[in-house]
Structure 1
Amino acid sequence: MGHDSADATAPDSPRIEPSHPSLGPIGGLTAEEFKLAFRNHAAGVAVITADAGDGPVGLTATSVFSVSAEPPLLIFSLSSSSSSAPTIRAADTVIVHLLGADQIALARLCATSGIDRFADRTIWDRLITGEPYFPSAHAWIRGRVVNRMEAGASTVVAVHALQAKLPVDAGDAPPLVYHNRAYHSLGDHSRLQ
C-alpha cells in the first residue's frame, strides 16, 4: 500500500526544521558536518581576478557555475575571510579563469594566503579593459558583476559574461578538479562510460 506524501512521513526521513526570518534557521548542521558532506563532491577549479583601483587580487574557487546561456551568466561564492573579498566585492568586472590540470601551480598560487600573488610579472598581464588576468589559463571569461547576494559568511556574485578566451579543443585539456582536499585531473583514465 502506498502513502500520500502529504499525509505521511517515513520514520527514517530527515526532518527539515522550519525557520523564521527574524530568528534565522532552527537547528542545522555544524560547519564541520557541512564541510564533510561536500568533501566527496568534486568541483572544477577556477581562479578569479579583479582590480577595483587598489591593485590586482586573485583567489582560487571551486564554486563557479554556469547558470544561464541566454543571457550568459555565471555565479561564484566569495568567502568574507578571503583577503581578496573587499576588492572583488567593489569591482565592476572580474576575470574567471577555468583551469586545466597543468595549471595546478596557478591554483596553488591564488589559494596561498599572505603572499603577493602578482609579484611575478611574467605570469600575468592586463586586458585592454584593465583587468588582471593569467594568459596561460586554458579558458577565461571576462564579465560584469550584475548582482551580489549576502549568504551567511559569503557573498554570491552573479556575472554576465562579456568576453572570453576559449579553448581550441576542450578535449585536449583535462580539467583541474578539487576533491577531498586534493587536486585531481580528469581524463580517459577516469571516464566511466
Structure 2
Amino acid sequence: MLSRIDTELGDRLKDAFRRFPTGVAVIAAGGPRGPAGLTASSVASVSVDPPALSFSVMGSRSARAILAAPSLTVNLLGPPHLALARDFARSDGPRFTPDQGWDVLPTGEPFLPGAQASLRAVPLHRLPVGDSTVVVAEVVDVLLGPARGRLVHHDREFHPHHGDES
C-alpha cells in the first residue's frame, strides 16, 4: 500500500510524463487465441549492435498475450493511424479488423503494412517493475513503410503532425 507521500510522488511523476510527448506504436503478436495488440508510447531504441528496442506493458489480457509470445511486431504509427491508436488503447476497441489494414508475416506475427515501420522482434528480457513489465527485444527484421508525418502521445491524447510542421 502506498503512503501519502508515495501517492503524491506517483501523481507528480504521471503529471511530469504527461508533459513529455512520445511516439506511438501498436505492439502485436500472434497467439493461440488469435492476434493480440495494444497501443504503446513507451517504445525506445536500446542498441544498434545488437539491434534492440524496449517497451513496457501493464497487466491487460493483450499485454499478457504479448509477454507470452515468442516474437512480436512493433508498428510505429503515423497520422493516418490516429483511429487505430485509439482503438488499441481501449480494452474494448476493435482489433485486427479488415479495414484497419493488418496483414500477417510469413513467421505468423500480425503487422501493419501502412505503418511508418514495422519491427519484428524477439524478446530477450522481461523485467517486472511494480504493475508493469519492461521488455527488451532483439529486432530481427525492419519493414519500412511510408514516412507520413508523426503521431505523438502528449497529455493523454494522440496528436497527428503532418509533414514538417513544428
Query: TM exceeds 0.5?
Result: yes
For the 8 Å contact 1:52–1:92, the answer to whether it is kept is no
Higher relative contact order (CA 8 A, sep 6+): 2
Aligned position for 1:188:
164
For normalisation by structure 2, the TM-score amounts to 0.88
Say which of 92, 112, 116 aligns to 1:114: 92
Aligned position for 1:94:
72
Amino acid in structure 2 at the alignment position of 1:131: E
How many equivalent pairs are there?
161
Residue 32 (str. 1) matches residue 7 (str. 2): no
Say which of 129, 136, 141 aligns to 2:119: 141
Amino acid in structure 2 at the alignment position of 1:91: A
2: distance between equivalents of 1:114 and 1:181?
Answer: 18
Amino acid in structure 2 at the alignment position of 1:121: P
Aligned position for 2:21:
42
The structure-2 alpha-carbon separation of the partners of 1:176 and 1:116, relative to structure 1 and needing over 3 Å to count, comes to closer
For normalisation by structure 1, the TM-score amounts to 0.77
Say which of 42, 45, 50 aligns to 1:66: 45
Residue 55 (str. 1) matches residue 34 (str. 2): yes
For the 8 Å contact 2:53–2:137, the answer to whether it is kept is yes
1:98 deviation in Å?
Answer: 0.4
- Whose strand fraction is larger, Structure 1's or Structure 2's? 2
Please report the RMSD computed on the Cα atoms of aligned residues, expressed in angstroms. Answer: 2.0
For the 8 Å contact 2:37–2:63, the answer to whether it is kept is no
1: distance between equivalents of 2:154 and 2:70?
Answer: 31
- Whose helix fraction is larger, Structure 1's or Structure 2's? 2
1:178 deviation in Å?
Answer: 0.7
2: distance between equivalents of 1:48 and 1:69?
Answer: 20
- Quick one: percent identity of the two aligned structures? 45
For the 8 Å contact 1:141–1:161, the answer to whether it is kept is yes
2: distance between equivalents of 1:121 and 1:128?
Answer: 18
**Residue deviations 1:44-81, cap 9 Å, x none?**
0000001232210110000000010111100000112x
Bigger Cα Rg: 1
1:116 deviation in Å?
Answer: 4.3
For the 8 Å contact 1:93–1:142, the answer to whether it is kept is yes
For the 8 Å contact 2:42–2:56, the answer to whether it is kept is yes
Amino acid in structure 2 at the alignment position of 1:158: V
2: distance between equivalents of 1:188 and 1:54?
Answer: 41
Aligned position for 2:105:
127
